[in-house]
Amino acid sequence: MDNLIVCNHCGGDACYVDEVNSEIKTYFCYGCGFQTNSLMKEDEKFYEEQVQVLPELYKDLMMRDDEGKIWIPSAINVPEKGMIFANGNNTDNWMWSAVKAIPVTEEEKSKYPIPGQPGKYYEWRMDMTTMKQFPERGFMDALSYIELLPE
Q: pLDDT-based confidence at 150, cuts 50/70/90? A: confident
Residue 63 pLDDT > 80: yes
Asked whether the predicted pLDDT for residue 2 surpasses 70, the reply is no
pLDDT at 87: 97
* Mean pLDDT in residue range 97-108: 96
The 10s digit of each residue's pLDDT in 10-37 is: 999 999 999 999 999 999 999 999 999 9
Structure confidence at residue 149 as a pLDDT band (50, 70, 90): confident
Helix then strand count (H, E) for the chain reads 3, 10
- The angle subtended at Cα 84 by Cα 34 and Cα 72, nearest 5°, is 25
Closest-CA residue to 32 (of 7, 58, 4): 7
Beta-carbon count within 10 A of 96 CB: 26
Asked whether the predicted pLDDT for residue 130 surpasses 90, the reply is yes
